[in-house]
């Protein structure tokens, strides 16, 4: 054994393991773990408070409160009252729990430190004689040791001068009798002062909102102070994490250098051999598997068709004769032994094909070919499948035949070309063409169709009559409409699939800006031609000596005519931002969320049922303004939508109340809707549309949905009380 006289350098793996241990044991990592642990107690109070505030808001809505106090709805009203008492108990208990947990957290970890002094001073300033905080803590003792306070649901009519002239203001809710509360001798002085200050009755929602606001403000200060206290620890942690990342990246680079990526150029195009050792090995494998599958082709004896249960009286729409069929059909069926088979060629009177399990290897071959760079963006799986079947047909029984890979490559070279996909848009007319993301919106003019017809006649080999008949139908169906035009290089089927997918996104995003998108009483029928929803009625009325037949539409389709002037207006506001959302590739999380919201809302505008429209609009709003499914959805949606759309408290209350109405309507799915319910749905749809527009305006400002929501939440501290 020879030595160099120096200690050997540790391996990259050993270095990573050592760094990982140092990171886990560092003061910065421990602080982050402690912060996460402390958040659990705060979350209990916050969620209990949100649930209680939401319940109070619901019974405070006059329409809903009156229903709960109606005689025929007594049990529901009683349960609402019980539920508020339960939530009050949870809230005051969790407030006390948070105080004890926080006090123990500081005592155990920061005793006799500068932060300990800072914490105690701040607590004394904010809570030592704070009336609401003291009341909440004393109320917890009241409920634990004495019982539930006397609370009651109330209905109050205000005819004072504060109410509008010749009107009555109605208020509802749940409150405590202060005289009853004061019978207990356990109140501290600040709590008793608070009770005396509120008058005859104490509104539950008032003290809950006040307490929660102060507690959250305090813990926000505490978080900031702790991060400042641990600034050096966090800095060291960041350095170690950066060192770990560099070491891990170096290890990854070494692994890549051991197996360099080859680039192979040939008539099949340039590819990265990242999934295959080389193009030659893939060609060899494709040819080998192709020959194996070819050897499994057999005669298919099709199982006899079961007789129909009864004779149909439907008239025959079309009769297909053997001479009308071009080529050999591809048919999935069961053979005479009940096995699943695919038949795709004939020899004499015999039908030939493969068993399903053998045909699965064709599917695997298609997937393997689509892994190649030159294929994945230009070919469809169906195209490759048809090319393979054509090779089967030409190679079966032949003494010599080209390899499968060569045949597929030749078919690709023949069919891959620059193509234009035109997808007509029903009920949309544009004055001029304009770009929208990777596509353009162009008018289908009479001149355009005439040129297409002339080109088709020139290639039709004398079959002018059939071509002219076809184009007469096309003129009647689509002339004057706009179309989504996508230009790409691919084989025709792949071009059609990709072009159609892009066109669907383009129309979905564009429809969001339709003049009727914010008018929920109208239905937007702008869609890809053939996919538009236009409800029709066809009814026969028969009587003694009388007969009538009605054929018409239930809702007239809205015809959207997009002028250059209107287009200029849209471009100056939202259209440019929306055009960035056509393709998902490259979008950050926030952009993806906004895209999903626009498309969901866009679908809602095409629906005729108000309830169905509500579901889509609500999903769009929740997707934009709710962080995750574990949040209290209704509470957070009403708060964030109100903060986003209104700057003053009265208008925020209107928005929030509308959200609560919408959730109540959602729970009454299938119930008869009144005019007030329909008005609520319309207002919510309009509010959701505006919220999505605001998000679209801020598309480049935020990376994540959480960033956007945090910006909305910050408005709460700035909004007037």
Give per-residue pLDDT as tens, 133-162: 999 999 999 998 888 888 887 776 665 545
Q: Pick left, alpha or beta for residue 147 (phi over 0 → left; psi -120 to 50 → alpha; otherwise beta).
A: left
Quick: pLDDT tens for 86-107: 999 999 999 999 999 999 999 9
pLDDT tops 80 at residue 282: no
Closest CA to 205 of 641, 656, 629, 621: 656
Q: What is the 3-state secondary structure (H, E, C) of 640-695?
A: HHHHHHCCCHHHHHHHHHHHHHHHHHHHCCCCCCCHHHHHHHHHHHHHHHHHHHHH
pLDDT tops 90 at residue 706: yes
Distance separating alpha carbons of residues 22 and 20, to the nearest angstrom = 5
If DSSP codes are grouped into helix, strand and coil, which group holds residue 593? helix
Q: Pick left, alpha or beta for residue 719 (phi over 0 → left; psi -120 to 50 → alpha; otherwise beta).
A: beta
Q: For residue 331, give Cα distances in angstroms to 357, 515, 621.
A: 15, 47, 46
pLDDT tops 90 at residue 444: yes
Question: How many beta carbons lie within 10 A of that of residue 493, not counting itself?
Answer: 16
Range 458-463 average pLDDT: 80
Closest CA to 216 of 305, 133, 323: 133
What's the CA angle centered on 703, arms 697 and 706, to 5 degrees?
Answer: 95
At residue 671 the predicted structure's pLDDT band, cuts being 50, 70 and 90, is: low
Q: What residue spans of 556-670 are helical by DSSP H?
A: 564-570, 576-579, 589-604, 610-625, 633-645, 649-667
Which residues is 263 bridged to in the sheet? 272
Question: How many beta carbons lie within 10 A of that of residue 565, not counting itself?
Answer: 8
Q: Which helix (H) or strand (E) holds 561?
A: strand 560-562
Quick: pLDDT tens for 577-626: 999 999 999 999 999 999 999 999 999 999 888 888 889 999 999 999 99
Residue-wise DSSP of 246-276: HHHHHHHHHHHHHSPPPEE-STT--EETTSS
706's tokens: 């959480």
At residue 275 the predicted structure's pLDDT band, cuts being 50, 70 and 90, is: very low
Question: How many beta carbons lie within 10 A of that of residue 235, not counting itself?
Answer: 10
Please return the burial class of 704, using the count of CB atoms within 10 Å of its CB with bins 0-12, 13-18 and 19+: middle
Please return the burial class of 474, using the count of CB atoms within 10 Å of its CB with bins 0-12, 13-18 and 19+: middle
666's tokens: 């959602």
Quick: pLDDT tens for 635-644: 999 999 999 9
């Amino acid at each position: 054994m020879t030595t160099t006289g120096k200690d050997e350098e540790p391996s990259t793996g050993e270095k990573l393991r050592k760094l990982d241990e140092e990171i886990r044991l560092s003061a910065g990592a421990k602080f982050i773990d402690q912060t996460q642990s402390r958040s659990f107690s705060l979350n209990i109070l916050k969620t209990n408070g949100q649930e209680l505030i939401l319940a109070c808001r619901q019974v405070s809505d006059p329409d809903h409160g009156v229903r709960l106090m109606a005689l025929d709805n007594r049990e529901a009203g009683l349960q609402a009252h019980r539920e508020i008492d339960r939530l009050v108990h949870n809230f005051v208990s969790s407030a006390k729990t948070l105080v004890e947990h926080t006090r123990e957290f500081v005592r155990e970890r920061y005793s006799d430190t500068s932060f300990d002094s800072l914490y105690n001073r701040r607590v004394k300033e904010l809570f030592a004689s704070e009336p609401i905080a003291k009341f909440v803590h004393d109320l917890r003792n009241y409920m634990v040791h004495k019982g539930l306070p006397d609370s009651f649901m109330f209905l109050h009519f205000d005819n004072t001068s504060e109410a509008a002239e010749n009107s009555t203001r109605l208020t509802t809710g749940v409150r405590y009798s202060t005289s009853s509360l004061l019978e207990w001798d356990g109140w501290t002085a600040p709590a008793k002062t608070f009770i005396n200050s509120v008058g005859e009755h104490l509104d539950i929602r008032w003290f809950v909102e006040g307490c929660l606001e102060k507690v959250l403000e305090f813990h926000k200060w505490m978080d900031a102070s702790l991060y400042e206290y641990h600034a050096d620890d966090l800095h060291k942690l960041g350095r170690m994490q950066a060192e770990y990342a560099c070491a891990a990246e170096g290890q990854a680079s070494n692994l890549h250098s051991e197996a360099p990526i080859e680039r192979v150029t040939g008539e099949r195009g340039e590819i990265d051999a990242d999934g295959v050792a080389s193009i030659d090995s893939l060609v060899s494998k494709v040819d080998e598997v192709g020959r194996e599958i070819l050897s499994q082709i057999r005669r298919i004896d099709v199982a006899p068709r079961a007789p129909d249960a009864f004779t149909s009286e439907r008239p025959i729409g079309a009769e297909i004769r053997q001479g009308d069929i071009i080529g050999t059909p591809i048919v999935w069926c069961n053979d005479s032994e009940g096995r699943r088979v695919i038949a795709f060629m004939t020899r004499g009177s015999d039908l030939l094909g493969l068993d399903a399990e053998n045909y699965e290897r064709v599917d695997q071959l298609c997937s393997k070919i689509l892994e190649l760079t030159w294929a994945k963006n230009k070919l469809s799986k169906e195209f490759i499948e048809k090319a393979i079947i054509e090779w089967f047909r030409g190679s079966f029984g032949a003494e010599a035949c080209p390899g499968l890979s060569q045949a597929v490559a030749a078919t690709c070279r023949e069919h891959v070309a620059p193509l234009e996909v035109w997808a007509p848009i029903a009920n949309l007319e544009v004055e001029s063409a304009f770009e929208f993301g990777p596509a353009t919106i162009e008018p289908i003019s009479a001149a355009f169709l005439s040129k297409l017809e002339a080109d088709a006649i020139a290639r039709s080999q004398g079959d002018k009559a059939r071509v002219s008949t076809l184009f007469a139908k096309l003129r009647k169906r689509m002339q004057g409409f706009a179309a989504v035009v996508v230009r790409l290089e691919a084989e025709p089927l792949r071009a059609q699939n990709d072009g159609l997918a892009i066109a669907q996104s383009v129309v979905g995003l564009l429809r969001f800006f339709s003049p009727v998108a914010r008018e929920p009483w109208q239905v937007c029928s702008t869609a890809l031609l053939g996919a538009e929803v236009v409800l029709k009625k066809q009814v026969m009325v028969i009587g003694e000596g009388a007969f009538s037949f009605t054929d018409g539409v239930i809702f007239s389709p809205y015809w959207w005519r997009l002028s250059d002037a209107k287009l200029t207006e849209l471009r100056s506001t939202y259209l440019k931002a929306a055009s960035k959302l056509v393709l998902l590739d490259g979008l950050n999380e926030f952009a993806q969320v906004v895209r999903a919201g626009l498309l969901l809302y866009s679908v809602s505008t095409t629906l005729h049922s108000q309830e169905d429209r509500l579901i889509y609009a609500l999903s769009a709003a929740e997707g934009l303004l709710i962080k995750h499914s574990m949040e209290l959805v209704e509470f957070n949606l009403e708060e964030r939508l109100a903060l986003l759309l209104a700057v003053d408290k009265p208008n925020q209350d209107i928005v929030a109340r509308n959200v609560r109405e919408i959730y109540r309507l959602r729970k009454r799915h299938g119930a008869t809707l009144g005019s007030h319910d329909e008005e609520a749905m319309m207002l919510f749809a309009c509010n959701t549309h505006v919220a999505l527009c605001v998000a679209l305006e801020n598309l480049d400002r935020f990376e994540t949905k959480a960033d956007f929501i945090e910006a909305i939440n910050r408005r709460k501290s700035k909004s007037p009380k």
